[in-house]
Amino acid sequence: MEVSCFSQNVLLVTLLLAIAVSLVESQGTRVGFYSASCPRVESIVRSTVQSHFGSDPTIAPGLLRMHFHDCFVHGCDASILIDGPGTEKTAPPNLLLRGYEVIDDAKTQLEAACPGVVSCADILALAARDSVVLTSGASWAVPTGRRDGTVSQASDAANLPGFRDSVDVQMQKFAAKGLNTQDLVTLVGGHTIGTTACQFFRYRLYNFTTTGNGADPSITAAFVSQLQALCPQNGDGSRRIGLDTGSVNKFDNSFFANLRDGKGILESDQRLWTDASTKTFVQRFLGIRGLLGLTFNIEFGRSMVKMSNIEVKTGTVGEIRKVCSKVN
């Protein structure tokens, strides 16, 4: 009788564990989610991104930024893609995002291959990874299974990390999404590709100090004159400047070397070097002697997986949009 009861208890525990695992998997993302329902999903997204990248390489940083901006508002649910007045697209931090046509193109192809199966949120997560690979970064396995959100409000984008944020504020915003200080430094390292407009950093070049003249002292003097030539005080504020001087189109760790050398373009970026809590991670990415090194490409993939799982909608939550710009 004791053996029988023991066996029954073991069977019950095993069954409960199996149910628990099943529930966890049904509520989360996993690599290969579409292996049976849409096996060509990754190849279709990859070829679409490659095609657009071939004619316009600036699409790569655009898609990476878009995924970031999506995940920090309502989680990674493609709410950034929804059209209409007062949606996230219309919020000031999102006005210069680009690459929407790439996601739309991939979605059209996937609807033809696997109607109603692949979410726009997953397409965006895959496209961000493929963009890094196309700019010489390392690949990583992207967990899928997200569903699309149905709410998109411009006001919700107000708490996105900003170009004037202190490190403390940046850390608070990342921590609120379950991301730690290393994730912060790693993900900001995505600025190794792409550009920004003069209007977002020109204030650092003129009349920055409390005395009313001079540039931000954290910028190397020789670099100030270079930036002033590119962004005159009364010049075109929309002119684009590379965020990673000397390596704007290659995904590498030179962005961190520029921070060390006082050549960070955005104030929030440069502060990662001047603040002790983040400087150590920048140094580790640079392989500073005496510190445990970090490999940027590897850590970037890990942090991207963490970020891409922020507040995801899975199971029966959300929907699978037929058109990424419109709620069903």
> Known catalytic residues?
69
Q: 3-state class of 117 per DSSP? A: coil
Residue 195 assigned ligand-binding role: no
Residue 183 assigned ligand-binding role: no
Residue 156 assigned ligand-binding role: no
Residue 54 assigned ligand-binding role: no
Provide the angle, in degrees to the nearest 10, between the axes of the packed helices 167-175 and 276-286: 80
How many C-beta atoms surround the C-beta of residue 223 within 10 A?
Answer: 18
Residue 161 assigned ligand-binding role: yes
* 3-state DSSP helix/strand/coil % of the chain, to nearest 5: 55, 5, 45
Residue 282 assigned ligand-binding role: no
Task: For residue 238, count CB atoms less than 10 angstroms from its CB and return exposed for 0-12, middle for 13-18, buried for 19 or more.
Answer: exposed
Length of the chain: 328
Cβ atoms 118, 41 nearer than 8 A? yes
Residue 77 assigned ligand-binding role: yes
Cβ atoms 194, 62 nearer than 8 A? yes
Residue 323 assigned ligand-binding role: no
Which amino acid is located at 29 in the chain? T
Q: 3-state class of 154 per DSSP? A: helix
Rg of the chain (C-alpha set): 22
All residues at 6 or more sequence positions from 214 whose CB lies less than 8 Å from its CB, including other chains: 207, 208
Cβ atoms 106, 45 nearer than 8 A? yes
Alpha helices (H) in the chain, listed in sequence order: 2-27, 41-55, 59-71, 100-113, 120-134, 167-175, 181-188, 221-230, 254-260, 267-274, 276-286, 296-308
Residue 209 assigned ligand-binding role: no
All residues at 6 or more sequence positions from 292 whose CB lies less than 8 Å from its CB, including other chains: 284
Residue 70 assigned ligand-binding role: yes
Of 154, 29, 27, 190, nearest to 79 by C-alpha is 154
Residue 43 assigned ligand-binding role: no
Binding residues for Ca(2+): 70, 73, 75, 77, 79, 88, 192, 244, 252
Binding residues for heme b: 191
Binding residues for substrate: 161
Binding residues: 70, 73, 75, 77, 79, 88, 161, 191-192, 244, 252
